[in-house]
Amino acid sequence: MAHIAIFLMPERGHVLPALGMIAELVRRGHRVSCPVPAAFAVPVTECGATAIPCGTTLPSELPESLYDAAQLALVEAESALPQLEPVFRQDPPDIVLWDIAAWAGGVIARRLGVPNLLVESLLTSNSHWSLGAAVVPARTFDTEAIRFFTKVQEFVGSSLPEFVSGARRRIALFPREFQPEGDTFDERFAFAGPCLTERKFQGTWTPPGDTPVVLATIDAQTCADAARGMPWHLVTKGKVADPAPNVEAHDDVPQLAVMEHASVFVTHGGLSGVMEALHHGVPMIVVPRMTDQKLNGQRVEELGLGVVLDTVTEEGVRSLVSQLVSDSAISARVKDMRRMIHQAGGSAFAADVVEEELAR
């Protein structure tokens, strides 16, 4: 049995996609430790892992710009490192997994001299395609940028690209077919696809009959108004005033439970939600907010898996839901991607990669 430490950015789109991998590693007999703030302790412990208490500096909502998000990631890492390094020096892991926005994990692995793997919950990069180049506008190296990247280098002990390349392999929580230029990525990139598992902490959900179900996790009121009088049932997240009989609103949607029955998903386009939808064969209306979501939405549209909408309006939601429910071509492409996702291997393949590296 190995001790595996998994460092994730304490944000839903980074923690929830890794839960299936965590549960599978525990099922195989490994001891898994995950540093998380209190809000994510229950999801982690439900998987059988040990939740290591760790405060967070992140705001409730991340900024639209990846450059701005990277600055928050540095502040988060500077806060997490002194909290966590003593814990793992006292109880050293055999291997460290860290996601691209959890730099403290990579630093601890380097300082302890243990092997480490990168967990990719955003689209990944190589010499042929770069997430940063695709979504972050080229910026001149003004004083602010120079100061920021100097601080990053001082924190991680090298340039950021060198630091990231120090990971033995990368486990991508999406299939190769969704990655732009996916066929150019070598064996160091393990495209596992989404690693899903049961989420008891979110509760259960039962569909109200045979009516098509639309899941919307954004702009609850507009989507609720759009659903009024329509021949589908809306499940949405957020507050809704005067909901129609075919609308139900939740503070926190049991997303996987609803997705099993959904016909359409209305989303900002975070990669976690996109993968959950495709795993269940659900086409999407993507309304991006953050820059990486714009790229995910572009990929959804390029692959014929849904449509991108610039702004949520009642008319737009109504017409696009009707289109997606009846579009056989999109349905066929979504089913094809679902097949590719299931073939990728998910949690079992991700755990295989970890165990291969443990055996080296």
Answer yes or no: do 25 and 103 share one domain.
yes
Answer yes or no: do 139 and 242 share one domain.
no
Q: How confident is the model at residue 319 (pLDDT cuts 50, 70, 90)?
A: very high
Q: In percent, how much of the chain has pLDDT > 90?
A: 90
Tell me what the mean pLDDT of segment 171-175 comes to: 98
Q: Residue 272 corresponds to which amino acid?
A: S
Tokens representing 84 are: 């966590």
Q: What pLDDT, on a 0 to 100 scale, did the predictor assign at position 136?
A: 57
Task: Report pLDDT digits (tens) over 197-249.
Answer: 999 999 999 999 899 999 999 999 999 999 999 999 999 999 999 999 999 99
What does the DSSP 8-state code read for residue 100?
Answer: T
Answer yes or no: do 352 and 335 share one domain.
no
Burial 193-227, CB ≥16 within 10 A → b, else e: bbbbbebeebeebeeeeeeebbbbbbbbbbbbbbb
Answer yes or no: do 338 and 261 share one domain.
yes
Answer yes or no: do 303 and 332 share one domain.
yes
Q: What pLDDT, on a 0 to 100 scale, did the predictor assign at position 139?
A: 60
Q: How many independent structural domains does the chain possess?
A: 2
Answer yes or no: do 146 and 282 share one domain.
no
What does the DSSP 8-state code read for residue 138?
Answer: P
Q: How confident is the model at residue 138 (pLDDT cuts 50, 70, 90)?
A: low
For the chain, give the mean pLDDT. Answer: 95
Under 8 Å between Cβ of 292 and 232: no
Output the DSSP codes for 30-81. Answer: -EEEEEE-GGGHHHHHHTT-EEEE------SS--S-HHHHHHHHHHHHHHHH
Tell me what the mean pLDDT of segment 162-170 comes to: 93
Output the DSSP codes for 205-267. Answer: ----TTS-EEEE-S-HHHHHHHHTTSSSEEEEES--SS--TTEEEESS--HHHHHTTEEEEEE
**How many Cβ atoms are within 10 Å of 304's Cβ, its own excluded?**
17
Answer yes or no: do 182 and 292 share one domain.
no
Residue 265's closest CA among 228, 302, 335, 216? 216
Task: Report pLDDT digits (tens) over 342-353.
Answer: 999 999 999 999
Task: For residue 19, give its domain range.
Answer: 3-193+345-358
Answer yes or no: do 168 and 289 share one domain.
no
Q: Of 78-92, 154-168, 330-344, which range is least confident?
A: 154-168
Answer yes or no: do 75 and 159 share one domain.
yes
Answer yes or no: do 265 and 276 share one domain.
yes
Answer yes or no: do 214 and 324 share one domain.
yes
Task: Report pLDDT digits (tens) over 98-108.
Answer: 999 999 999 99
Q: What's the CATH code of the domain at 314?
A: 3.40.50.2000
State pTM to two decimals. Answer: 0.95
Q: What pLDDT, on a 0 to 100 scale, did the predictor assign at position 135?
A: 58
The residue among 303 and 130 whose pLDDT is bigger is 303
Answer yes or no: do 175 and 217 share one domain.
no
